Amino acid sequence: MDRPQLPILFGLSFYTLFYLNYKYDLLARWNGQQTYNDYSYVKEAVERERARLATLSSSPTPVSPSPQSSLSSTGAN
């Protein structure tokens, strides 16, 4: 096999595998089957962060802003 044909072969192989992965992922989603890249870890992280923020917002001691930030927000020097 000549050397110039190798990049073409690798490119076709890569895009064929990429297409098959995309095709079967779409078919699994359409049929309601489990997919391996359903990003469940992102959903779990979002739920953990929401729970953490809810506990922080319901804490009895509110965080007071520093005096410098309150002055700069009003525009006074």
Residue 40 lies inside a defined structural domain of this protein? yes
Residue 61 lies inside a defined structural domain of this protein? no
Task: Output the tens digit of pLDDT for each of the chain's 77 residues.
Answer: 566 788 889 999 999 988 888 888 888 878 887 777 667 778 889 999 999 999 988 877 655 555 555 555 555 55
71: left (phi over 0), alpha (psi -120 to 50) or beta: alpha
CA 33 to chain centre: 21
Range of the domain at 37: 5-56
- Per-residue pLDDT at 47: 94
Number of domains composing the chain: 1
Residue 69 lies inside a defined structural domain of this protein? no
Residue 12 lies inside a defined structural domain of this protein? yes
* pTM assigned to the model: 0.37
- Per-residue pLDDT at 48: 95
